[in-house]
Amino acid sequence: MDMFSHELESLIEKKIREAEEKGMFNNLPTHGKKLNLQENPFAEKDWQLAFKVLKDNGIAPEFVQRRKEIEEIRAEMKELRKGAIRGQKHLYRDLLMKLETAIKALNSSLVRENHFIQGSFQLPQIDIEAEMAEFEKALS
């Protein structure tokens, strides 16, 4: 193990220990349940166990959770557009601001994720200006 790998491992262990001391692992939805540790033949060898544990315990990577949140906001906005939007513009504006915040968080998450992903597997960010323009047009 080279010096960088050792320092990174030590940093990770420190962060886990600090999180445990703060009680951040208390009351997790899978607390007290057995973990399913079968291997995933499609995951890279170094990441097999991590992805398997996450998947089997209903935990998605941050960027997946954030994309789901964005889709839920988009669906709410679509429902508002179907109805009489004239009297609900304030609700639409609130959702628009919520969507903008969610997209910024997703894009930030993708920047972090893409550091670990190579080449064509990197995930594209959402064009926030185009997204906002599309929904602003609906208000006009």
pLDDT, tens digit (0-9, with 9 covering 90-100), for 64-106 = 788 888 888 888 877 777 765 556 777 878 888 888 899 888 8
Domain ranges of the chain: 3-56, 62-139
pTM equals 0.52
Contacts of residue 25, Cβ cutoff 8 Å, sequence gap at least 6: 19, 31
Q: What is the pLDDT of residues 19-57, one digit of tens each?
A: 888 988 888 877 777 766 676 665 677 877 887 788 788
- CB count in 10 Å sphere of residue 60: 12
CA nearest to 62, candidates 25, 102, 95, 99: 102
DSSP-derived secondary structure for 87-120: GGHHHHHHHHHHHHHHHHHHHHHHHHHHTT--GG
